[in-house]
């Protein structure tokens, strides 16, 4: 009970932030009812997806300061679990999603134990390595369709199928995901002020001091890594039902992992709103840049060049992201 | 029964012997001063007791339990807290949140941790600073926060590593008052490391002097201050004759 | 037996080339503790330089090595001066994502300029020629030449680092940057130099690899990961370590060959069914993971 109350406790946030957040939530609630294009709606769904990925990453990467560049493997585990269970045994989304989380979290414990003996660059590269190993395995594993991937045929079901999450129109997906999005925020809000959240922030600051305060550093990291994994896996499962065609390359590639980290970093790693701000800037930008520039003949990759320049600018000029600018500005105003 | 007993503790770093055969005991309720010149091995001794470094040889008994082989978090959970020399406190967290990290060792409830943190802050006259970020505070207040955080773990024994380093005389008075308060009123046993001798002499019940990794003297502050070996360690040979009877002042 | 022998020879030869690939990364890491995700992209530019220069000038790709070195040197210094110097003091996450951004930039510029299709060297003195080394081992001439020239280049850089004033200053900066600064060595200059030398050595490696490996804008990541593995295995910052580690990694890339050998020798049915060639590069990642967990300082590490 207390945990539930704490999840809704935003009392440490400035009133201005909460007002803006409330207004935006209201806007997101009615967004699909406005006369918007299908493209805008699809972009918004991507925004939710990457916000949630970013929130997951933010637990271990932002609050914990562990640069995890291998989150895509858990997108893959979630997506493949849901797809395989649906295609082979007709197990609907709401059952396959928890199973996917269970598998993903189990895997995260197995590799998390050795992973968190490393730190810094070594840790970051090792997370990439584990993710690529899993991707390579999936690319030759016939059971999951190898490199061709899997396809969920919508013809086999009668949309709207709420149990299997098979819909014809994006608006259904939008609202399901919007609910996940709100739950994700509440959970993150609970997490950051929970015992584990506090321990993690102490670890990020100084591991020796954290140990002297009775914190089992290794175990706290592994637990948080599992939480981050849970987020990513749930959305991975959703992704399978939404996209309906998954393959190792677009669920588990390094680019996805980096994109996930980037959401949180652009918005502000280790802050509540950071990943949402990051996704809110990057996803529409990416999607519209691709639409405008990617289509033009001879300009292939132009969108990604601009994208790369943005990444480089953030890392050079404001590594604490947009939220870092806001915080600095506020602190200056206060003093 | 002694609260802490260190028996023949040896710590080697590669070929370097940082602590050589150190033994002492500490009674419950004592305030023990641990002094010695820079590089004498005081912090290493703390690190060994608190489980940060594994010891090379010897035994550490805390509260009737052999804690020699325990790691830092396990030692902390048994009621032995410490502060760090150069470390201030987590700058990204507010003062209250810092103290809450310590309180979370004994409770998983956010409400209880917060109540306890607020109580400690009030007790140390830090309530006004509670919502501030630690990085915005002056150094003296940051040191107080590290002590408050350590208190959050409800320690039986508190190891304070040079809390007065880098402070001006006024601030030193304040922090000494806090230490005496923690010791007298809260009933926490304290070991205090300082290389500023005077400070320890005025506060401690008993003093241990370490030089080059060895314990060279132990006793009441006055006795130790007159000990020729101690004067030699601090000031070098030539002072031993002249300063033999007077107060040693580094 | 022939499979085994030729796998070992192929692995070692490829390992020699990989040593040159990893050399730049380990020098840069040694001097400034930064991991460069764009390393493989430098290699890719080396490949394109050799390929295009040989086509335009009508000379053998092997003669374009000095040009590739020059391109790599300038590219390295440009990247350092234009970007790396600004992220060097930032938090580690900014460094990682920053060099990742650099990688995306270099890769997509290549995509824009060269297009996405595979290109390969078809004409050259050594192309399609091979040597019979006895015991049934046949080695393509391009690979043999690449391996030999890689070793020459590797040794040249090694001598440059240890025998020249400039190289010694670089090594001093790597071992003790503060001390080096007191000696009047400019860290900024040394960092730029490390990027120049690092860039040059990896583009030369690229110019050698293009003789037997088709190039496209996406080729870099694989080599980046290979280089990371070698550097981890050899000990971050260790130059001789990188050489031996590269030979080990070269052998790891030949695991499918060893698998075939075992399959034919043991004649176990299930072994035929394992698509080992598909796992060719997975073993590199597995190796990285295991090495880092078991021996975080690498097998020959001298700098933590």
Give strand pairing partners of B57. B10
Partners of A67 on chain C (C-beta within 8 Å) are: 92-93, 96
* B177 falls within a domain: yes
Q: Which residue has the tokens 């001066």?
A: C81
Backbone angles phi, psi at B63, to 5 degrees: 55, 50
For chain C, the chains sharing at least 3 beta-carbon pairs closer than 8 angstroms are A
Given B154, B169, B201, which residue is the final one in a domain?
A: B154
Most confident of A133-137, C124-128, C153-157: A133-137
Among B116, B134, B154, residue at a domain's last position: B154
Tokens 């990943």 correspond to A275
Q: Please state, in angstroms and rounded to a whole number, the distance separating the CA atoms of residues A197 and A189.
A: 10
More confident residue, C41 or A310: C41
Higher pLDDT, B24 or B225: B24
Domain-embedded: residue B178? yes
Backbone angles phi, psi at B104, to 5 degrees: -65, -10
Cα→Cα distances C30→A261, A292, A297, C35, C236, Å: 26, 43, 43, 10, 7
> In angstroms, rounded to a whole number, what is the distance separating the alpha carbons of residues B8 and A64?
39
Pairing of strands B4-13, B57-62: antiparallel
Query: Is A295 an interface residue toward C (CB < 8 Å)?
Result: no
**pLDDT tens sequence across B204-248:** 888 888 888 888 888 888 888 788 887 777 766 555 544 444 444
Domain of B173: which CATH number?
3.40.50.300
Contact B93/A216, CB-based, under 8 Å? Answer: no
Answer whether A66's CB lies under 8 Å from A123's CB. yes
From the list C119, C137, C122, the residue with the least C-alpha distance to C254 is C137
Which residue(s) pair with B8 in the sheet?
none
Query: Is residue B240 included in any domain, yes or no?
Result: yes
- Which pLDDT value is given to residue B249? 45
A-proximal residues of B, 121-150, CB under 8 Å? 133, 136, 149-150
Structure tokens at B71: 């790691």
Residues 6+ apart with CB under 8 A from C253: C11, C14, C280, C281, C283, C284
Q: Are B52 and B74 in contact (CB under 8 A)?
A: no
> Which of helix, strand or coil describes residue B7?
strand
* A-B contacts (CB, under 8 Å): 80
Number of domains in chain B: 2
Give the mean pLDDT of chain C. Answer: 81
Q: Whole domain around residue B209: which residue ranges?
A: 1-79+155-250
Q: Which residues of A touch C90 (CB under 8 A)?
A: 315-316, 319
Q: Which residue has the higher pLDDT, C71 or A289?
A: C71
Q: Are A279 and A263 within 8 A, CB to CB?
A: yes
Query: Are the C-beta atoms of residues C130 and A98 closer than 8 Å to each other?
Result: no
Q: What is the pLDDT of residue A56?
A: 94
Cβ–Cβ of C101/A305 closer than 8 Å? no
A 10 A CB-CB count for B8 gives 12
Supply the DSSP symbol for A60: I
DSSP A204-245: HH-HHHHHHTT--HHHHHHHHHHHHHHHHHHHHHHHHHHH-E
Mutate to test the interface with B, among A204, A213, A217 (most CBs of B within 10 A): A213
First to last CA, chain B: 35
Same domain, B112 and B45: no
CB-based contacts of C62: which residues, under 8 Å, 6+ apart?
C124, C125, C126, C145, C149, C208, C211
Q: Is B54 within the bounds of a domain?
A: yes
Determine the Cα–Cα distance for residues B8 and A44; give it in Å rounded to an integer.
67
- The count of other CB atoms within 10 Å of the CB of residue B26 is 21
| pLDDT tens per residue, range B168-202 | 888 888 888 888 889 888 889 999 988 777 778 88
Last residue of a domain, one of B132, B154, B176: B154
The 10s digit of each residue's pLDDT in C223-280 is 998 898 888 888 777 778 888 888 888 888 887 777 777 777 777 777 777 776 767 7
Query: Where is pLDDT greater, at A211 or C178?
Result: A211
Q: Is A299 on the interface with C (CB under 8 A)?
A: yes
Pairing state between β B206-211 and B31-35: parallel
What's residue A99's pLDDT? 93
Please give the C-alpha separations between residue B133 and each of A9, A196, A334, B129, C249, in angstroms, as whole numbers. Answer: 20, 20, 12, 8, 49
Q: Which residues of B184-215 are buried (b: 16+ CB within 10 A; e: fewer)?
A: eeeebbbbbbbbebbbbbebbebbbbbbebbb
Question: Are B131 and B217 members of one domain?
Answer: no
Q: Are C198 and C84 in contact (CB under 8 A)?
A: no
For chain C, say whether A124 makes contact (Cβ under 8 Å): yes
Position A196 scores a pLDDT of 92
Report the alpha-carbon distance of residue B197 to residue B201 in Å, rounded: 6
**Contact state of A132 with C282 under an 8 Å Cβ cutoff:** yes
A156 secondary structure, DSSP code: G
Nearest neighbour of C289 by CB, restricted to A124, A130, A317: A130
Closest Cβ–Cβ partner in B77, B100, B109 for A214: B77
Whether C1 has a pLDDT exceeding 80, the answer reads no
- pLDDT of C54 > 80? The answer is yes
Percentage of chain B beyond pLDDT 90 is 15
- Beta strands B189-194 and B31-35: pairing type? parallel
- Residues B210, B231 within the same domain: yes
In the block, residue with structure tokens 């550093």: A217
pLDDT of residue B243: 46
Separation of alpha carbons C275 and C83, rounded Å = 42
Measured between beta carbons, the chain C residues lying within 8 angstroms of A64 are none
For residue B111, the chain A residue with the least C-alpha distance is A2
Structure-block tokens of residue A209: 């001091």
Distance CA(B194)–CA(A230), nearest Å, equals 48
Note whether C97 contacts A315, CB cutoff 8 Å: yes
**Residue B84: inside a domain, yes or no?**
no
| Chain-chain contact of C97 with A314 (C-beta, under 8 angstroms) | yes
The answer to whether the Cβ–Cβ distance between B93 and A212 falls below 8 Å is no
Q: Which helix (H) or strand (E) holds C227?
A: helix C220-234
DSSP C66-107: HHHHHHHHHHHHHHIIIIIHHHTTS-HHHHHHHHHHHHHHHH
**Among candidates C239, C195, C14, which has minimal Cα distance to C99?**
C195
DSSP three-state, residue B32: strand
Mean predicted confidence (pLDDT) in B19-26: 88
Q: Cβ of A206 and B72 within 8 Å?
A: no
- Given the structure tokens 């609970």, which residue do they identify? A190
What pLDDT was estimated at residue A128? Answer: 87
C-alpha C275/C-alpha C280 separation (Å) is 9
Mean pLDDT of chain A: 86
Predicted pLDDT of residue A172: 87
- Across the interface, whether the CB atoms of A118 and C111 are under 8 A apart is answered no
- For chain B, counts of helices (H) and of strands (E): 10, 10
- Residue in B closest to A332 by C-alpha: B136
10 Å CB burial of residue C96 (0-12, 13-18, 19+) is buried
Q: What are the residue boundaries of the structural domains of chain A, listed by start?
A: 2-252
pLDDT at residue C172 greater than cutoff 80: no
pLDDT at B236: 63
With beta carbons less than 8 A apart as the criterion, state whether C171 and C161 touch. yes
Please say whether the beta carbons of C22 and C224 come within 8 A.
Answer: no
The answer, yes or no, to whether residue B59 has pLDDT greater than 60, is yes
Question: Going by C-beta distance under 8 Å and a sequence separation of 6 or more, which residues neighbour residue C142?
Answer: C124, C126, C127, C129, C211, C212
Q: What is the pLDDT of residues C7-22, one digit of tens each?
A: 787 888 888 888 888 8
Give the integer Cα–Cα distance in Å for B42 and A103: 49
Q: B109 and B67 in one domain?
A: no
My answer on whether B145 and B204 are in the same domain is: no
Using the beta-carbon criterion (under 8 Å), do A312 and C108 form an inter-chain contact? no
CB contact under 8 A, B92 and A211: no
Q: Note whether C292 contacts A118, CB cutoff 8 Å.
A: yes
Encoded tokens for A81? 């679990």
DSSP 8-state code for residue B227? -
Distance from CA of C32 to the nearest CA of A (A): 13
Task: Of C224, C92, C246, C15, give the one whose Cα is nearest residue A128.
Answer: C224
C-alpha span between A127 and C227 (Å, rounded): 16
Q: Do residues B148 and B159 both lie within one domain?
A: no
Evaluate whether C194 touches C170 at the Cβ level (below 8 Å).
yes
Ranges in chain A, pLDDT < 50 = none
Residue C299's pLDDT is what? 60
DSSP H stretches of helix in chain B: 42-49, 72-77, 95-103, 110-123, 139-152, 169-184, 197-203, 221-226, 228-235, 239-243
Mutation for testing the A interface, residue in C105, C236, C296, C304 having most A CBs under 10 Å: C105
């Amino acid at each position: 009970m207390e945990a539930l109350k704490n999840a809704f406790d935003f009392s440490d946030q400035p009133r201005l932030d909460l007002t803006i957040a409330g207004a935006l939530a209201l806007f997101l609630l009615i967004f699909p009812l406005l006369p918007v294009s299908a493209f805008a709606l699809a972009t918004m769904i991507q925004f939710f997806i990457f916000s949630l990925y970013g929130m997951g990453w933010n637990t271990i990467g932002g609050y914990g300061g562990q640069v995890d560049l291998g989150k895509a493997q858990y997108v893959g585990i979630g997506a493949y679990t849901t797809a395989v269970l649906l295609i082979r045994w007709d197990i609907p989304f709401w059952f396959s999603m928890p199973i996917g989380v269970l598998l993903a979290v189990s895997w995260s414990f197995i590799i998390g134990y050795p992973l968190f003996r490393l730190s810094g660059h070594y840790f970051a590269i090792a997370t990439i390595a584990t993710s690529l190993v899993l991707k390579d395995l999936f690319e030759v594993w016939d059971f999951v369709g190898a490199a061709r991937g899997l396809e969920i045929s919508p013809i086999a079901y009668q949309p709207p199928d709420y149990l299997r999450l098979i819909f014809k129109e994006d608006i259904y997906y939008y609202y399901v995901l919007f609910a996940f999005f709100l739950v994700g925020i509440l959970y993150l809000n609970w997490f950051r002020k929970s015992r584990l959240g506090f321990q993690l922030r102490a670890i990020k600051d100084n591991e020796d001091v954290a140990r002297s305060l009775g914190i089992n550093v290794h175990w706290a990291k592994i637990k948080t890594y599992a939480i981050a994994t849970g987020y990513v896996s749930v959305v991975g499962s959703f992704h399978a039902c939404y996209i309906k065609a998954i393959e190792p390359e677009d669920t588990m590639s390094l680019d996805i992992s980096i994109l996930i980290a980037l959401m949180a970093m652009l918005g502000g790693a280790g802050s509540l709103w950071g990943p949402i701000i990051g996704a809110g800037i990057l996803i529409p930008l990416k999607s519209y840049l691709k639409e405008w520039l990617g289509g033009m003949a001879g300009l292939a990759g132009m969108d990604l060049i601009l994208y790369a320049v943005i990444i480089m600018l953030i890392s050079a000029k404001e590594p604490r992201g947009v939220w870092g600018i806001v915080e600095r500005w506020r602190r200056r105003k206060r003093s | 029964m002694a609260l802490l007993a260190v028996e023949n503790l040896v710590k080697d770093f590669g070929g370097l012997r940082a602590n050589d055969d150190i033994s002492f005991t500490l009674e419950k309720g004592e305030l023990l001063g641990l002094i010695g010149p820079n590089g004498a091995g005081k912090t290493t001794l703390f690190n060994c007791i608190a489980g940060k470094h594994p010891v090379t040889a010897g035994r550490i008994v805390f509260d009737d339990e052999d804690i020699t082989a325990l790691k830092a978090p396990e030692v902390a959970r048994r009621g032995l807290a410490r502060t760090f020399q150069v470390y201030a406190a987590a700058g990204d967290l507010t003062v209250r949140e810092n103290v809450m990290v310590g309180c979370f060792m004994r409770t998983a409830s956010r409400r209880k941790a917060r109540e306890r943190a607020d109580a400690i802050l009030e007790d140390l006259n830090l309530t006004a600073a509670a919502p501030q970020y630690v990085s915005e505070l002056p150094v003296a207040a940051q040191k107080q926060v590290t002590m408050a955080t350590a208190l959050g773990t409800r320690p039986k024994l508190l190891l304070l590593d040079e809390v007065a380093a880098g402070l001006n005389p006024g601030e030193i008075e304040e922090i000494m008052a806090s230490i005496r308060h923690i010791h007298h009123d809260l009933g926490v046993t304290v070991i205090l490391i300082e290389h500023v001798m005077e400070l320890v002499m005025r506060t401690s019940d008993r003093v241990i002097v370490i030089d080059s990794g060895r314990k060279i003297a132990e006793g009441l502050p006055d006795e130790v201050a007159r000990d020729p070996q101690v004067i030699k360690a601090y000031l070098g040979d030539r002072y031993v004759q002249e300063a033999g009877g007077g107060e040693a002042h580094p | 037996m022939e499979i085994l022998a030729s796998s070992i020879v192929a692995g070692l030869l490829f390992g020699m080339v990989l040593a040159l690939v990893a050399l730049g990364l380990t020098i840069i890491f040694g001097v400034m503790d930064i991991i460069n995700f764009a390393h493989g992209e430098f290699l890719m530019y080396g490949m394109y330089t050799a390929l295009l220069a040989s086509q335009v000038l009508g000379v053998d790709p092997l003669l374009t090595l000095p040009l590739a070195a020059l391109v790599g040197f300038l590219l390295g210094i440009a990247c350092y001066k234009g970007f790396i110097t600004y992220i060097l003091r930032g938090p580690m996450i900014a460094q990682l994502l920053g060099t990742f951004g650099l990688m995306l930039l270099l890769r997509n510029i290549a995509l824009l300029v060269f297009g996405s299709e595979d290109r390969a060297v078809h004409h050259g003195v050594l192309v399609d020629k091979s040597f019979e080394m006895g015991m049934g081992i046949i080695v393509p001439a391009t690979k043999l030449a690449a391996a030999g020239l890689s070793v020459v280049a590797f040794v040249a850089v090694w001598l440059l680092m240890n025998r020249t004033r400039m190289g010694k200053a670089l090594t001093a900066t790597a071992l003790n940057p503060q001390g080096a600064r007191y000696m009047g060595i400019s860290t900024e200059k040394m960092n730029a130099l490390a990027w120049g030398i690092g860039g040059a050595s990896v583009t030369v490696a690229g110019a050698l690899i293009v003789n037997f490996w088709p190039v496209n804008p996406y080729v870099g990541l694989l080599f980046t990961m290979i280089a990371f593995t070698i550097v981890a295995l050899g000990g971050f910052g260790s130059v001789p370590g990188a050489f031996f580690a590269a030979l080990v990694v070269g052998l790891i890339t030949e695991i499918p060959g060893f698998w075939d050998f075992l399959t034919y020798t043991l004649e176990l049915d299930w072994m035929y069914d394992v698509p080992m060639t598909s796992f060719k590069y997975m073993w590199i990642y597995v190796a990285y993971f295991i090495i880092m967990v078991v021996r975080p300082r690498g097998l020959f590490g001298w700098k933590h």
